[in-house]
Homo-oligomer: A and B are copies of this chain.
Amino acid sequence: MKMSGGVEWGLHCCVVLSGAGAPVTAAKLAELHDVSQSYLAKQLQLLSRAGLVRSTLGQSGGYVLTRAANEITVLDVVEAIDGVQPAFRCTEVRQRGPMAVPAERCDTPCPIARTMDSADRVWRESLRRVTIADLIADVNRTTPPEILAGAREWLRA
């Protein structure tokens, strides 16, 4: 089980976009993070489809957040890039084989599926509790101020 690596990039991009007041191009974001420019563009498209960021075309275009940083949760980004369907999908094994349970007797979900769904729910709830603003506050507290200022300046240039 592996999450798409684009989730990490997307979260970093949201943090950066929140700090920059002006639109930032995908090329700048890619260079800042030293990742593939074309592939990051795809992740940004996913964020755009999900309505988390808004893209503006033209010479001074780029991406901006559509909402305040404290109104975007980590779960929003994860679901935008990695998809909303849970990792576990019940294939109804109990309805197969020589001792299959008829479908009409399967009114309640398989207990295995219920267990997995419950775990998936608490996982998503945990991610929903953290917002981009929380991440930014942590970044501001743990990274040297000169690097933050430098990055802000680098984005402007």
Contact = CB atoms under 8 A, between A and B. Distances in A.
Interface in A100-154: 100-101, 105, 108, 111-112, 114-116, 118-120, 122-124, 126-127, 130, 134-135, 138-139, 142-144, 147, 150-151, 154
Given A8-B91, A111-B139, A126-B118, A99 B1 contact: no
Interface stretch (A30-38, A51-59, A64-72): A30-38
Interface string A21-48: 0000000000111110000000000000
Could you say how many copies of this chain the assembly holds?
2
Interface of A: 1-5, 7-9, 11-12, 31-35, 74, 82-83, 87-91, 93-94, 96-101, 105, 108, 111-112, 114-116, 118-120, 122-124, 126-127, 130, 134-135, 138-139, 142-144, 147, 150-151, 154
